[in-house]
């Protein structure tokens, strides 16, 4: 009875969501599990894995051509579970590398409040040479000073060769100061894709601050109630041993630092736009059009919006 009621309320939405998931799964050549589909790709339906499996078998959806095998939704595009397991292994190695790097960053850059890994690594779908996308929030009005030092550390990390080159393609793809992120999250309150990205991100530093971000954005639970509650439980239990937030320097509001912040923004915003232009030229020459991106740069944010993310927004956004 519960399944029938759910289908009556969300039947068309469930079919639409699964159709979108099918397209993404085929493009990535990456099979998702029934649990992932139920929890993260059917906003507001609030289905269990068992309910979704029953709906798929009892209500048809034959046009989607999914094959259910060992709890996975396979498309006919030569997908294999062994390939998925290999990507999970690669993603885990990249995540561990990012965690090590994040510890170094937070020691050297006192204005960082939280660091999380997003993108393919967070979803467990990364291939060997995929970037490690970093989500970073800094103290208010200290984004560009922090970015300057982060870029230097990334360069040193690569030069020193402390890890394999495929483990250190760190990309500062989502940077905000605290005010900038607060404004962004308010603008995105009706966006299920933004909500899912918050839930799927893997905090690697400033876990307690990331937990507060989720608590401050309770609207996320309107789309994904069960994953939201689970994420909060995990973050509370996995809070860093030293949860006391390290204060910024006593002079953090000085005129000197304000001037340095302004100069850093002026120089780095031009540098990052130029580097994005050159990178996009290379990506286009390789035929990787969905990976090309636009740098959205402001005093409070630096966000790389790729064509792939735009495509996801067109089908999963508000």
By DSSP bridging, strand 170-177 and strand 132-138 are parallel
Integer-rounded Cα Rg, in Å, for the chain is 21
Whether 5 shows a pLDDT value over 80: the answer reads no
pLDDT > 90 fraction of the chain, expressed in percent and rounded:
71
Confidence of residue 303 (pLDDT cuts 50, 70, 90): very high
| pLDDT tens track for 31-42 | 999 999 999 999
| pLDDT tens readout for residues 37-87 | 999 999 888 888 988 888 887 766 778 888 889 999 999 878 899 999 999
Q: pLDDT-derived band of residue 7, with 50, 70 and 90 as boundaries?
A: low
Mean pLDDT of 86-94: 97
CATH topology classification for 84-316: Beta Polymerase; domain 2 (3.30.460)
pTM above 0.85?
yes
d(CA 261, CA 297): 14
Sequence-distant (6+) residues with CB within 8 A of 68 are: 34, 53, 56, 57, 74
Q: pLDDT of 110-166, one tens digit each? A: 999 999 999 999 999 999 999 999 999 999 999 999 999 999 999 998 888 878 888
Task: List, as one string, the DSSP characters of 211-225.
Answer: HHHHHHTTTHHHH-H
Give the single-character DSSP code of 276. Answer: H
Q: What whole-number distance in Å separates Cα of residue 179 and Cα of residue 182?
A: 5
Q: For residue range 228-247, what is the model confidence (pLDDT) as tens digits? A: 999 999 998 876 545 554 54
pLDDT of residue 218: 96
Residue identified by tokens 């971000």 is: 213
């Amino acid at each position: 009875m519960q399944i029938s009621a759910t289908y009556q309320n969300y039947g068309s939405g469930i079919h639409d969501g699964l159709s979108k998931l099918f397209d993404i799964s085929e493009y990535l050549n990456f099979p998702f599990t029934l649990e992932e589909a139920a929890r993260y790709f059917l906003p507001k339906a609030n289905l269990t894995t068992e309910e979704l499996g029953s709906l798929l078998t009892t209500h048809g959806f034959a046009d989607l051509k999914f094959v259910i095998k060992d709890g996975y939704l396979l498309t006919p595009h030569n997908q294999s579970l062994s390939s998925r397991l290999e990507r999970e292994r690669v993603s885990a190695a990249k995540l561990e590398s990012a965690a090590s790097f994040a510890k170094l960053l937070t020691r050297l850059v006192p204005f960082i409040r939280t660091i999380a890994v997003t993108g393919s690594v967070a979803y467990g779908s990364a291939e060997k040479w995929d970037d490690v996308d970093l989500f970073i929030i800094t103290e208010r009005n200290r984004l560009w000073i922090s970015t300057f030092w982060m870029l230097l550390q990334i360069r040193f990390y690569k030069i020193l060769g402390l890890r394999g080159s495929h483990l250190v393609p760190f990309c500062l793809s989502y940077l905000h100061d605290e005010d900038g992120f607060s404004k962004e999250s308010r603008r995105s309150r009706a966006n299920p894709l933004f909500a899912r990205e918050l839930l799927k991100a893997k905090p690697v530093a400033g876990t307690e601050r990331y937990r507060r971000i989720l608590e401050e954005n309770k609207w996320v639970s309107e789309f994904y109630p069960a994953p939201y509650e689970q994420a909060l439980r995990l973050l509370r239990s996995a809070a860093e041993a030293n949860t006391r937030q390290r204060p910024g320097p006593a002079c953090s509001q000085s005129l000197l630092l304000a001037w340095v912040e302004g100069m850093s923004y002026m120089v780095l915003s031009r540098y990052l736009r130029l580097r994005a232009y050159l990178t996009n030229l290379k990506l286009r020459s390789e035929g990787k059009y969905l990976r090309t991106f636009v740098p959205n740069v402001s005093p409070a944010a630096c966000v790389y919006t790729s064509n792939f993310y735009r495509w996801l927004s067109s089908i999963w956004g508000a």
